[in-house]
Chains A and B, each alone.
Chain A
Amino acid sequence: MIIVNNVTKSYGKIIALKNVSFKFDDSHVIAIMGENGAGKSTLLKICTGILPFDQGEVTVDGFSIVKDSIKAREQIGYLPEMPDMYERLTGREFLFYIASLRKVKGAENKINEITKMMGIYDSLDFEIGSYSKGMKQKISITSAIMHDPKNLLLDEPIYGLDPFTSKAIQEFIKNKKGTTVIATHSTQLAEKVADLVYIIMRGRVVHFDEVSKLMSKYGSMEEAYFHIKDEKDA
């Protein structure tokens, strides 16, 4: 469970998040939607302890991301929007490096299993610098899920993936236990995997609802998103 309480974050004069509060419950897939620059990625970075914030409080499974940051980060798996990795390491070396830092038990089996599911297993011994965008995304997703985190934070998880892997990831997200938070522009992804959706605009939460309710009301998540956005813009 991740609780974000009254968090404000600014970059100089630009306010990225203003007094936002979320409660990401266990056994839920939560989609964070919003236009470019709304603050989705910033929110995920704050929840993982990558970015400091100006005020408020964030706890992960009861551990403060500020005071108990190590314990809080142990409970998290994170996929960044731009998965930059060490280009001179091979995919296999990078994954074992992360497994070592996270002290993952049975790392080799898990890495083999996940990378086979992703269709990247045969390329694991190439340097990351030579990977395509999608291949990097697959390695980064593997690093985010190989320690079976209770809380998974994914920033645009299917971006750059082929249809087969994209479907496999969607299945994985749907079947995963614990909390999964997805920041995405894709209304289709939200429709397929999410239970709840938060819509944020200009650093504020403007709508929160169950996906099933929005679907029955508007017919599709795309329609729901446009409707809510127009309503709030007006």
Chain B
Amino acid sequence: MKRMLETSKIILKDNTRDLIKKMEEAPVLYVIFTVMMIFSILVFAYATYFLLNVETNLNVSLEDVFFTIFFVFFLKSAADVYNHFIMSSPLSYSLSTQVDQKKTVFEIFLAVLFMDLVIWFAFSSFFLVALAAFGVNVYYPLEYLLFTLGVITAACVGCAVAINFFSPRRYRLLPTLILLGFILNSKSMLYASLMLPLAILHVGWSIKNSIPSYLFVKRKERLKERAQVKVRSVIKALFYRETTVLWRDKLLFSFVFSSVSTGLFAGYFFIYGEEILLPEVLRKTMSSFLPAMFVFLGVYVVVVYTAVFPALNLFLNEEKTMWIIRHIPVKNDVFIYGKTSALALCFLTAIPFVPYISIFMGFDQIAFLLWLLVFSYIAGVIISVPLGVKYVGKKSDIMLLYSVAMLLFAVLGTAATLGSMIRDYFAYPIAIYILTILAEIFVLYLSLKISSKILALNYP
């Protein structure tokens, strides 16, 4: 009995210690993150309260919320299995013991499921407390049970997707996708929750056939790119490396996709949001606010995705490769400039947002939209680069990304308001827009200088 669930315990202990260590190393960051999380949950609770009490044309059903949560836990579980099983070299030790390998993988699944449930219960409890504080009736035990079953189903399907996607027999993914398709297509939380036994059977089958997926490596030869390989100037070499990785990780495509889709969504809500979201009585008072808010949110989402995310990762991703930066005779400033120059390419992927939203807003707004996008983009880079340098080693830290995103929200909210005032009250707003961008470029320069200071080693 004493030897049960050893792998699960190790994973949970490792994750807990890692979190504690990060909190000790960067307490300010984690305080900001906690505050932002509490604030976000309160905002969601208030939005729920608002939508429950004010009649609008927006029909956010319980099913919509259910499937959003389902999708989040599905992705998280798949990512966890990828990290703790597929790409985990230390797991070789557990897999080489006399313990059945399938049992070891099953224990990994249990650890992932446990983490999912802890997150689900913690966040949902706080959300319900906040809702109750607003006076909303939160006594829906059956719905809560269905949501919880949905989280477990999502964990099962997420784990199965990760295992089968990296299987040498890729066709194993087919039943997983069929199951996922059934669940999502049902659009019913009762149906999705009742699929749990099938999901458990499926994840069991996937675990049974999981070992060939371990340490999946695709040996990729790149003969076509060979012609591009040459000695470049330092800045160009840094630019080339960053953009090559962005290209190979398919991130540039996802940036363009997010820009186009956000442009279309934000534009649609710019026109129809008032009708869909606002009750009749509020339309007169809020008719100018709401469209502007959707434009702002659109720009904000695009900037977080195409500026904040890659700018933070410029250095966050250097965790184990910092020895290269440290021992090469190149000044820190040059490293910072070279790496940041790659964001120019990321900016190009944000531009499709402007014409797509303009389809709805009218093309006469392009100057203002471009200004807002450029201003927001530079602001995102100003905030993100020094933080990325400061927290090297906290690779892909979602908490850091979230904290920066919320910080940026406050900055851009103020800037967008000022920008629209300039547009409305000045005869030649473009001149002022250009001046603000120039001033911002100076701040960017200072931000990069600060980043290079942060990057320097501290000798006594």
Contact = CB atoms under 8 A, between A and B. Distances in A.
A18 B223 CA distance: 50
B22 to A, nearest CB: 16
Task: Count chain A CB atoms within 10 A of each CB in B225, B249, B459 and give the residue with the most.
Answer: B459
B216 to A, nearest CB: 11
Closest 5 CB pairs of A and B: A100-B237, A84-B320, A73-B329, A50-B326, A130-B219
Interface in A104-160: 104, 107-108, 125-127, 129-130
A178 interface: no
B80 to A, nearest CB: 21
B295 to A, nearest CB: 36
A20 interface: no
Nearest to B318: A86
Interface in A59-114: 66, 69-71, 73-74, 76, 78, 80, 82, 84-86, 88-90, 92-93, 96-104, 107-108
B329 A70 contact: yes
Interface in B225-240: 225-226, 229-234, 236-238, 240
Interface in B134-151: none
Contacts of B324: 85, 98
Contacts, number: 103
Contacts of A102: 328-329
A98 B330 CA distance: 11
Given A49-B457, A52-B458, A97 B237 contact: yes
B457 A88 contact: no
Given A50-B326, A127-B222, A96 B331 contact: no
A48 B320 contact: no
Interface residues of B, number: 39
Contacts of B219: 126-127, 130
Interface of B: 217-223, 225-226, 229-234, 236-238, 240-241, 244-245, 248-249, 320-324, 326-331, 457-460
Given A50-B323, A86-B245, A88-B248, 14 more contacts: A49-B326, A49-B327, A52-B459, A53-B459, A71-B329, A74-B329, A78-B323, A86-B321, A88-B249, A90-B222, A97-B240, A99-B231, A100-B233, A101-B328
B323 A84 contact: yes
Contacts of B221: 125-126
B234 A130 contact: no
A89 B243 CA distance: 11
B220 A130 contact: yes
A104 B231 contact: yes
A54 interface: yes
A100 B236 contact: yes
Given A92-B229, A101-B330, A126 B244 contact: no
B234 to A, nearest CB: 6
A85 B326 contact: no
A147 to B, nearest CB: 10
A101 B249 CA distance: 23
Interface of A: 45, 48-55, 66, 69-71, 73-74, 76, 78, 80, 82, 84-86, 88-90, 92-93, 96-104, 107-108, 125-127, 129-130
Contacts of A66: 459
A101 B221 CA distance: 24
18 contacts: A49-B326, A50-B322, A54-B460, A55-B460, A70-B329, A74-B329, A82-B320, A86-B241, A88-B249, A89-B244, A90-B229, A93-B241, A97-B237, A100-B234, A102-B329, A108-B231, A125-B222, A127-B222
Contact of A48 (B230, B327, B459): B327
B225 A126 contact: no
A82 B223 CA distance: 27
A171 B343 CA distance: 45
B318 to A, nearest CB: 9
B323 A100 contact: no
A71 B331 CA distance: 10
A73 to B, nearest CB: 4
A12 to B, nearest CB: 11
Nearest to A51: B457
Contacts of A76: 327
Contacts of A55: 460
